[in-house]
Amino acid sequence: MTRRWLLGAACAAIAIAVLATRPVRTPGPPARDFEAYWSAGVTRNAGADPYGRAIWNAERRVPDVDAARDELLPFVGPPASLLAWGVAARWSYDAATRAWWALLAISLLGLVAAVAAGAGARLELTAFVGGVVLAIAFAPISSDLALGQIALPAFAGACALVVLADRSLPAAAACACVAFTQPNAALGLLSQLGRNRATLALFAGLLATYALGVLAAGWAWPRAYARLLAAHGAAERFDAIQFSPASIAYGFVANPIEARAVGVAFAAIAVGAAVAIALRFRERFARFAAFSALAPFVAGFVHEHDLVVTFAAALWCALRTRGIARTVALAGTLLVCVDWLGLAQRPSGIAQSLLLATAAFAAFVALGQPVELLRAVPVGIAMAAVFAVAAFLAVGHPIPIWPDALASFHAGANASPAAVWFAEQRASGLLAAVPAWSLLRSLSLLGCALLAAAIYRHSACCRTA
């Protein structure tokens, strides 16, 4: 009965958040990131380079894009994905967007089912509904849905690989191909190396991804793609929308050399923590969830929607942990499930963010035992205080939104897409070093660390027991 009341409250909070407290809509097309995917397909179908400036010729024709200025959104997906985007580009943008959103909704359900199976939970209706509610209230996932981001299906594929490796090798290999469409989403799969069937599935998926990339971009595509990623990584290394430790350190007024050193130090600590978890915990999916939660410290290129990789740890902890480990996990989940930077980007959405955080709290608690409810209350009170302070800070330090802040920006005729993107970020004001922005982003990374720590703590308790 307690679970049902909590889930009912969570659903009510989500309904109010979606129907009554939506933030002021920013100009531009729906599914902004899908704009780049679709345009890359259009550009390739026309025989031009989707990784070059030619993509703007397609993007400027997308409904609600301001073609009077340069607001090029680069495409940086792996060449293998171009085969799919070429098919999507045969439809109108509106039709392709609706189909893509349907696929994202299916991916959300598949992600919840895969994590529940990985956690060893019985697929009961209450548990599944609780997982779906937690996913909907999880800010990185809602960002994936709003932006049309491929990170959601990619991470769902990674989770499914871990679950399916011992059941169907072809299915697991196919899941690997899906995971590789967003390399950051696949980092947690390093936890499965040494597990024979999972390793074989990863290798088969890698070969298939390479072969598909050959069809799209030729035999030497890995080298060219690595150069592309390096160029775009450098262009956005210290951007305010980056959640990497180096970018956050730069926002705290560290110089570029110091910021890079901070990034390397946090990456080393995260790798050490992953090794410690791998040595302590034999459970395969738990290792994967912990590695994925630590991935933002290593990836070096992390946006809000990329934090979807922490959802496996959040739902696994909601279903499995007890006692202190559960308290730590709840705090970590609430820290990640709020788009703290978004509070400063869209102050009109603060009420919606609070309602979604409340829904996430109720869903997480509902997935545990009733006895854990008393432990959860102090965490909820503490997080409410953190939210109030963060909201006050965000209102006082608003963040410009790309491309709204571009005004009448025009890029140099000979600039590369990475150079254009860097110039756009600078013109938008997103390269400013503002400590308040870094503090907001730090809350999300703290949540990632707490989720990994909760899994480690749970493993310690299991060994003691």
For residue 372, how many C-alpha atoms fall within 13 Å in the half-sphere facing its CB?
26
Q: Is the pLDDT of residue 58 over 80?
A: yes
Q: What is the pLDDT of residue 195?
A: 79
pLDDT, tens digit (0-9, with 9 covering 90-100), for 108-167? 999 999 999 999 887 778 889 999 999 999 999 999 999 999 999 999 999 999 999 999
- The tokens for 375 are 């432990």
Q: For residue 208, what is the enclosing H or E element? A: helix 196-217
- Measured distance CA(209)–CA(441) in Å, rounded: 33
Q: Is the pLDDT of residue 369 over 90?
A: no
Radius of gyration of the chain (CA): 21
Q: What SS3 state is found at 344?
A: helix
Q: Is 403 exposed, middle or buried (0-12, 13-18, 19+ CB in 10 A)?
A: buried
Q: What angle do CA 203, 205, 206 make, to 5 degrees?
A: 65
Q: For the chain, what is the domain count?
A: 1
Give residue 15's identity as a one-letter amino acid code: A
Dihedral angle, C-alpha 256, 261, 263, 267, nearest 10 °: 160
- Tell me which DSSP letter residue 174 carries: H
For residue 116, how many C-alpha atoms fall within 13 Å in the half-sphere facing its CB?
21
Nearest of 359, 289, 360 to residue 321 by alpha carbon:
289
- Measured distance CA(71)–CA(200) in Å, rounded: 42
Q: Share the mean pLDDT of the chain.
A: 94
> Whats the size of the chain, residue-wise?
465
pLDDT, tens digit (0-9, with 9 covering 90-100), for 156-208? 999 999 999 999 999 999 999 999 999 999 999 999 998 789 999 999 999 99
Residues sharing a CB contact under 8 Å with residue 50, sequence separation 6 or more, in sequence order: 39, 40, 41, 43, 44, 75, 82, 85
- Tell me which DSSP letter residue 402 carries: T
Domain of residue 64, residue span: 2-22+30-464
| Cα 395–chain centre separation | 24
pLDDT, tens digit (0-9, with 9 covering 90-100), for 287-331? 999 999 999 999 988 999 999 999 999 999 999 999 999 999 999
Could you tell me if 332 and 454 are in contact, meaning their C-beta atoms sit under 8 angstroms apart?
A: yes
Give residue 191's identity as a one-letter amino acid code: S
Q: For residue 87, what is the enclosing H or E element? A: helix 82-88
Nearest of 302, 403, 390, 292 to residue 342 by alpha carbon:
390
User: Taking phi first (over 0 means left), then psi (-120 to 50 degrees means alpha), and beta for anything else, what does residue 225 get?
Assistant: alpha
DSSP string for 243-270: -SHHHHHHHTT--HHHHHHHHHHHHHHH
Q: What is the pLDDT of residue 465?
A: 40
pLDDT, tens digit (0-9, with 9 covering 90-100), for 17-29? 999 998 888 888 9
- Measured distance CA(334)–CA(327) in Å, rounded: 11
Q: What angle do CA 66, 63, 402 make, to 5 degrees?
A: 45
Could you tell me if 147 and 99 are in contact, meaning their C-beta atoms sit under 8 angstroms apart?
A: no
